[in-house]
Amino acid sequence: MLSMYINSTHINWDDILPYITFADNSSVKESTGKTPFYLLYNREARLPADVVMGVRATPLSEDPDALARNLEAARKMVKERLVQVQEQQKRYYDANRRATVEFSAGEEVLVYKPFRKVGRAEKLLHRWQGPFVVVHRASALNYEIKRTNDRQTELVHVVKIKKFIRGAEWTVIDRESTGAEARRMEP
């Protein structure tokens, strides 16, 4: 949110921070169903528009025990809701997750290594580098790889690796994400 309001030289972020913090703390969070302000103070924040319109603040209970009970009830409800939301997010993640790909020693792969170049459009840069050769599987999700003609190895997580398809005039594609086959490039 901060990036939407800072100036082009990025020097006024500290002036804007209190406003961004207030906006965030007075916004209902999807996972909790409540605002952070409410969970801390047992009432909604009084917005500048409320002050201008003359809207009265919600009166707080005089009884500190009642305030504590209300806060405890709200936090209990949030805990229950978080369990439901986490289960829902897990179902969504599991439904859209690609199967874990396995590589064998000696297999050629590409490695995702995003970088920036001054004066170049970031979205047009090649993010997949290689080919690399799989040295061995270090763990269930990590592989030790090295460049084809290099001795130095590096440990890479499986999500940053995809199969390299070698051919004289063939493109390199990611079959898992596109479902397409390699196709011949025109010389």
Domain boundaries, the chain: 2-96, 108-178
Q: Rounded to whole angstroms, what are the CA distances from 65 to 13, 70, 71?
A: 40, 9, 10
Q: 108-178 adopts what CATH topology?
A: SH3 type barrels. (2.30.30)
User: What span, in angstroms and rounded, lies between the C-alpha atoms of 29 and 72?
Assistant: 18
* pLDDT tens for the 187 residues of the chain, in order: 777 787 777 788 889 899 999 999 999 998 888 999 988 888 888 888 888 888 877 776 677 888 888 889 989 999 999 999 999 999 998 888 767 788 999 999 999 988 777 767 676 677 888 889 999 999 988 999 999 888 899 999 998 999 998 764 444 444 444 444 444 444 4
Is this structure's pTM higher than 0.85? Answer: no
Q: Which residues of 147-160 are buried (b: 16+ CB within 10 A; e: fewer)?
A: eeeeeebeebebeb
Residue 106, token pair as written in the block: 């000696």
Answer for the pair 89, 95: CB distance below 8 angstroms, yes or no: no
User: What span, in angstroms and rounded, lies between the C-alpha atoms of 60 and 186?
Assistant: 74
Structure-derived torsion over alpha carbons of residues 16, 19, 25, 30, reported in degrees to the nearest 10 = -70
